[in-house]
Structure 1
Amino acid sequence: MGDVVERAGLSVEGLAESVLRHLPELTDVLVATIYEQNPAYQELDSVPRQDLWRSCHDNVARIVQMIADSDDHFDAAQATGRRRAEQRMPLDDVLKSYRLGGRLIWEALIDEARAQGMAQEMAQSEVLLDVAGKVWEVVDRTSSQVATAYHAAERYLVRADEQRRSTLWEGLLQGRANRAFVQEAATVLDIPVNGPYAVVAIDNLVDDDCTTTSFARRLAGVRVASAWQVRPQTVVGLLALGTESAAAVLRTLRQFVAAPAGMSGVVAGLAEVDVAYRQAMLARRTLPPGRIDVAALTERLPEALLLSAPELADQLIQSWLMPLTTTSVPERELLLDTLDKWVLAAGSVRRTAELAHCHRNTVINRLHRVEQITGRDITEDGFQLELGLALKAFRLFPA
């Protein structure tokens, strides 16, 4: 382009210097143009006017400078890309502003040429096309630098957001309950501070964030806001129950959760999530190996109590059932199954026979066999409670 300009008796450097002398006025026009033709800057209101003005000023100066001397001056573009990423301004709108700026710079160069009496000479030469090509080549290169800096900052911000989100999650699950922390957690996780909450803990079988997105969408369909965290072995969900009952939410969870899981009781708000988390993990442990279900703590309180006090569970097993382990496996399973139904039937021989699909005399004989082996009278006062807990403990601690 320089040869053509020289033949035409023109100086792009001179035009650029003239444009730069009017830089503040040109910046004002560009800011006004952006507000008029790029409404996101006003609608999102994330870029202060003074910030936009300074960015336009510096970038116009650098672009005009690059048109004049062909050197790279990308510091303003890179700073703008980083800043707009931090302000969450969409990249498409940022690049649109650069195109608006490029057009304004081109018009300013033409106006300067006209003011210096060069317009006719430029129109009769190849200079006009060359200057236009130079303007848009510089704008394209500058825009590319903006996009590169924007994406780098965006990746950093995503990592920082994920780290902060993880810190907030861990704080909630570990019982950090001061008001400021809980309020920040509610804001970041987009869930309410107060209101009934339940926690669900699901075995992490797939380690897939898409699964948690699906969970959140399914629960939103029944008016339950939720937040989810994928941990190494467990997917944890905070369920803001709102006006829904815990029982209704449990039914919904059982429709789409395809892994062993536990659900806590209801707590008052985020400040008590640590309690609910421990309850959910405890409820999960009550499930027998291989069983796919959402175990609700409210439905499995005896099992939860036994898991919380394993030494007492062992004492119950020793007191009631340990002698049965000396029998053969088939007989032991038959007798344990009869005892399960005996407790479920509240000590009724007839009802036990119905549940076991056998004659009542068969039930009587099996119960006598249990008494013979254990040396315990299962009709003594309080037998149902103790024996029922012993049977549950035996299933929970098979070793």
Structure 2
Amino acid sequence: MTDVRADNGDTARSLAASVLGGLDELTDGLVSVIGDQNPGYRLVDVVPRDDLWHSCHDNLRRVLQLIGHAGDAEDFYDAARATGRRRAEQQLPLDDVLRSFRLGGRLVWQALTDQARATGEVNNEAMLDLATRVWEVVDAISAQVAQAYHAAERSLVRADEQRRASLWEGLLQGRAADAGFAYEAGRTLRLPISGRYVVVAAAGPGDADAGFAEPLGSALEDLGSPSAWQSRADVLVGLVALPGRDVAGVVAAVGSVLAVPAGVSLVVDGLAAVHAAYRQAVLAMRTVPPGRSEVVCLAERLPEALLLSSPELTDSLLQNWLRGLLDLGGDERGLLLETLSTWVGTGGSATRSAQILHCHRNTVLNRIHRIEGLIEQRLTGGDLSLELALVVRALPFLPPPRVP
């Protein structure tokens, strides 16, 4: 039995060596077969004919060498790996690549059987062993192609993600003032360079942006507003094109997908202004009071945004107006601050405040007199000041009461 196997191995080596002598003709045949029987190459049209010929030539040579080789095969996979990497870079579907290797296997088998018939000295058992060997080699080569293809594909995805992230950083830092950068960013993100834009900043999703980007994009696409999304630290950033001025529609679409605090910038002109819109969107997001999840427009939160933009002045304003009220315990402090906010919101109407607070108007007046004593400011008998209106706007952002 050992002698028979050795003889069969000698037969495989002999036939493979003979076929290798006509490698160029065999390569021409495989290129022709691929053109006829693997339409993916024609439809995608990303592999130049010269590239295809040399790839077929190198891989056929390695297949025939492996058929006649009985030792370690590692050194014979270089052509397969190179082909896998190159086809991934060319974005030819892997199924089409592997189909070509199967066609090559059939062509090699046909060439080997033709050579066997020409010699007339090969028996059936040797040919059965040879058939097994041919398809073992084709399977092993194909596995190497697929492995190299997937590795290159992952590398390309990482490179694309890094490039996309770099473009986003450039946009948010103002680099789109350069026309060349703006063109590249618009082409990559599939957005127009000019036209009206808003930026959306949403808190919380972070690295989960992949789960939100698709539904956000779909919801905005329904409005006719193409968008692009990127995770940046703990903020999900969206760039939304506005063919019209439907900012309210953007707010509704984002709110239908996200249940987190989010801010929408003012409308800006073109990619060159995106960096300013990003700062506006983050500021708008910060105006959402703690514990609440809503989507807000900066245009509707300008007083709050101004207060948050200058924390030192805001703190001074609060201290000047609220003084002793801020030193109260939690329950009384909360009750009086709610009453003050309602009082200012109703323009100093005890009746309307009582309706909102669900208490008697005299109770409202008693609380207001209590507040007046604490802050040493009159809240009745005249117009309420602009400063007091700003103080009320800042109340949601007050720190919690100090624990004694």
Q: TM-score, normalised by structure 1?
A: 0.87
What does residue 56 of structure 1 align with?
Answer: 56
SS at match of 2:124: coil
Q: Which residue of 2 aligns with 1:255?
A: 256
- C-alpha separation in 2, matches of 1:380 and 1:171: 55
The corresponding residue for 1:175 is 174
Q: How does 1:1-399 map to 2 (within 5 A)?
A: 11-71=11-71, 72=73, 73-114=76-117, 116-118=118-120, 121-122=121-122, 125-177=124-176, 178-204=178-204, 207-208=207-208, 209-243=210-244, 245-326=246-327, 329-358=330-359, 360=361, 362-378=363-379, 383-398=384-399
Partners of 1:380 and 1:306 in 2: CA distance: 27
Give the letter for the 2:110 counterpart. Answer: E
Shift, 1:369, TM fit: 4.4
* Separation of aligned partners in 2, 1:327 and 1:336: 11
Amino acid at match of 1:32: S
In the alignment, the residues of structure 1 paired with residue 390 and residue 262 of structure 2 have an alpha-carbon distance, to the nearest angstrom, of 22
User: What's the offset of the Cα at 1:197?
Assistant: 2.2
Deviation for aligned residue 1:264: 1.9
**Aligned amino acid, residue 65 of structure 1:** Q
Report the Cα offset of residue 52 of structure 1: 1.1
1:104-153 Cα distance to aligned partner (Å, 9 max, x none)? 11112222334x342xx43x532222222221111111112112222222
Question: How many Å separate the matches in 2 of 1:140 and 1:328?
Answer: 77
Residue identity in the other structure for 2:261: P
What is the CA distance between 1:380 and its match in structure 2?
Answer: 9.1
Are the counterparts in 2 of residues 223 and 244 from structure 1 also a CA contact under 8 Å? no
- The whole-number CA distance in structure 2 between the counterparts of 1:322 and 1:174 is 41
User: Could you say what secondary structure the match of 1:390 adopts?
Assistant: helix
Instruction: Judge conservation of contact 1:316–1:390 (CA < 8 Å) in 2.
Output: yes
CA contact (8 A) 2:11 2:126 kept: no
For the residues of structure 2 that align with 1:382 and 1:279, how far apart are their CA atoms? 32
Compare 319-328 and 69-78 and name the one that shifted more.
319-328
Worse overlay, 42-51 or 369-378: 369-378
Q: CA deviation at 1:367?
A: 4.2
- Structure 1 residue 57: Cα displacement: 0.8
Residues 361-389 of structure 1: CA distance to partner in whole angstroms, max 9, x if unpaired?
55555444444443334479874421110
Do the aligned partners of 1:169 and 1:229 also contact (CA within 8 Å) in 2? yes
After the TM superposition, which of the residue ranges 186-195 and 159-168 deviates more from structure 2?
186-195
Q: Identity, % of aligned pairs?
A: 53
Does the Cα contact within 8 Å between 2:206 and 2:236 map onto a contact in 1?
A: no
Displacement of 1:266 in angstroms is 2.1
Q: 1:266-325: per-residue Cα shift (whole Å, max 9, x none)? A: 222332222222112111211222112123212211100100112221232133222433
Q: What's the secondary structure of 1:171's corresponding residue? A: helix
CA contact (8 A) 1:5 1:11 kept: no
Give the Cα separation in 1 of the matches to 2:369 and 2:246: 45
Instruction: Work out the CA distance in 1 between the residues paired with 2:238 and 2:334.
Output: 37
Alpha-carbon offset, residue 359 of structure 1: 5.0
Q: For 2:46, what is the secondary structure of its paired residue?
A: coil
The range that moved more, 287-296 or 98-107, is 287-296
Change (3 A) 1:113 1:245: same
Counterpart of 1:20 in structure 2: which amino acid? L
Q: How far is the alpha carbon of 1:345 from its aligned partner?
A: 2.5
Q: Counterpart of 1:69 in 2: which secondary structure? A: coil
> In terms of mean alpha carbon deviation, does 91-100 or 385-394 score higher?
385-394
Greater CA drift, 86-95 or 260-269:
260-269
Q: Which moved more, 1:369-378 or 1:66-75?
A: 369-378
Distance 1:69 1:311, change over 3 A: closer
2:140 is aligned with what amino acid? R
Distance 1:105 1:296 in 2: 68
Matching residue's letter, 1:184: E
Letter in 1 for 2:45: D
- Deviation readout 1:185-217 (Å, 9 max, x if unpaired): 333333333333222222225743323333333
